Amino acid sequence: MLVPPLSLETRDFVVEHLEDSPENLQLIRAFTCSNNAMGLELYLKQQALNDEDNGQSRTYLVKDALTRELACYFSLRTCLIPYELADRRINLSAIELANFAVNDNYRRSQRAVAKIGEYVFVEIIRPLAKHISTCIGAGWLCVFALPKERLIDYYKKKLGFSRLPADKEKLVHGHVKPDYDKDCIFMYQRI
């Protein structure tokens, strides 16, 4: 049985790929992140199109359904998570939330819209990951979170991610952690 298509529109937001609309390049140029997440801003502006063209990841723009402002973006890609069982090492198939950032300009202009990241994660990213997993057979969603206690806590309490025990986390960091995520913390959840 084929998997039915998935609508990524919500009452508040629409989702597009980078090149779906001519206005998107302009919106990307105006996207800003706080200083702590400057790498996420630079990724969107300088690397996302390249990664799309090379098949390395897929980047989604989340726009306000009414104003068409760029609210946030996220990138997904597949990955393998090395994991040690009692007597052997296996690789778990996963989807990585490689980039996820809210546009500071949107946050300022739409002060009444609260918890944008949490809403987009629950209403768009998780359903999309679930949909993708039915097509490719991935059982996990993972992220390499910036090593900020407040952010780690947010990912745990609000988005439902967990950390591995220290020895298993070290194994993952030694085998699959991207260079640009050198200080980031691996987190995961079941899809």
Residue 2: inside a domain: no
Residue 110: inside a domain: yes
With residue 133 as reference, give the H or E element that holds it.
Answer: helix 126-136
Give dist(CA 137, CA 139) in Å, integer: 6
* CB-based contact 39:180 (threshold 8 Å): yes
Res. 1 pLDDT band, cuts 50 70 90: low
Res. 7 pLDDT band, cuts 50 70 90: confident
Residue 95: inside a domain: yes
Residue 137: inside a domain: yes
Give dist(CA 162, CA 144) in Å, integer: 11
pLDDT in tens, 105-163: 999 888 767 789 999 999 999 999 999 999 999 999 999 988 889 999 999 999 999 99
Residue 121: inside a domain: yes
Which domain, by its residues, includes 75? 13-190
* Residue 98: CATH number of its domain: 3.40.630.30
Structural domain tally of the chain? 1
Residue 87: inside a domain: yes
* CB-based contact 191:139 (threshold 8 Å): yes
